[in-house]
């Protein structure tokens, strides 16, 4: 009610444009990595490994994507948190950089929280890519679909929901674990 009273109906859409730009940029670099890295690791590993460990290329891709993404996203997230949690609204982004004593301190401050974010990203990406692959293989086996044939839209929707459920459950458990440690 306060948002509606203070800003009217447009108040519910506050921040829509910056968030849409953020999501668009994230998807623009995520999709190429999701396509490139699994194929890269499939070709990198010997056939004996990939046939014995069916999801190895997906796990390796997940770790790689998580690492790359974390090192790009962590400084941006750090600045976002600084701006969101500042008590005095007259404090600006330049004050974040001025508050540090030297360039090295600025750099370290930008990567504050890197370990927790990296751990969360690795778990999330590897679980997502591995279980997406696993559920699609299970669907192919169940439906007797050859690997070169595409799965139907309904099957993809079902495997996506299953992957999402596993990812959310494991991600929630991981975040709980991170807060305990």
Question: Residue 131 pLDDT more than 80?
Answer: yes
Closest CA to 121 of 61, 79, 181: 61
Give 138-158 pLDDT, tens digit per residue: 999 999 998 889 999 999 999
Res. 72: pLDDT tops 80: yes
pLDDT value at residue 14: 67
Share of the chain above pLDDT 70, in %: 93
Q: Supply the pTM of this predicted model.
A: 0.73
Average pLDDT over residues 169-179: 79
Average pLDDT score over the chain: 84
Lowest mean pLDDT among 16-25, 32-41, 129-138, 159-168: 16-25
Q: What is the pLDDT of residue 130?
A: 92
Task: Write the DSSP assignment of the chain as a string of letters.
Answer: -HHHHHH-GGGGGTTHHHHHHHHHHHHHHHHHHHHHHHHHHHHHS-HHHHHHSTTHHHHHHHHHHHHHHHHHHHHHHHHHHHHHH-SSTT--HHHHHHTSSSHHHHHHHHTTTHHHHHHHHHHHHHHHHHHHHHHHHHHHHHHT--TTSPPPHHHHHHHHHHHHHHHHHHHHHHHHHHHH-
Arithmetic mean of pLDDT, 71-98: 76
Residue with token string 């990198």: 44
Note the pLDDT of residue 21: 79
**Residue, of 151 and 75, whose pLDDT is higher:** 151
Q: What are phi and psi of 69, to 5 degrees?
A: -65, -40
Q: What is the pLDDT of residue 88?
A: 66
Q: Which of 41-50, 89-98, 167-176 has the highest mean pLDDT?
A: 41-50
What pLDDT, in 10s, does the model give residues 25-40?
Answer: 888 888 899 899 999 9
């Amino acid at each position: 009610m306060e948002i509606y009273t203070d800003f009217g109906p447009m108040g519910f859409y506050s921040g829509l444009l910056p968030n849409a730009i953020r999501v668009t940029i994230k998807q623009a670099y995520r999709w190429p990595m999701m396509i490139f890295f699994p194929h890269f690791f499939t070709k990198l590993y010997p056939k004996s490994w990939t046939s014995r460990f069916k999801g190895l290329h997906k796990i390796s891709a997940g770790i790689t994507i998580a690492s790359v993404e974390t090192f790009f996203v962590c400084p941006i997230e750090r600045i976002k948190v600084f701006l969101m949690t500042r008590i005095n609204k007259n404090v600006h982004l330049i004050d974040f950089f001025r508050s540090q004593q030297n360039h090295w301190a600025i750099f370290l401050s930008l990567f504050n929280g890197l370990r927790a974010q990296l751990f969360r990203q690795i778990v999330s990406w590897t679980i997502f890519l591995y279980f997406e692959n696993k559920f699609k293989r299970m669907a192919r086996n169940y439906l007797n679909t050859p690997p070169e044939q595409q799965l139907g839209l309904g099957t993809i929707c079902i495997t996506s929901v299953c992957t999402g459920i596993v990812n959310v459950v494991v991600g929630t458990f991981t975040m709980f674990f991170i807060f305990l440690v």
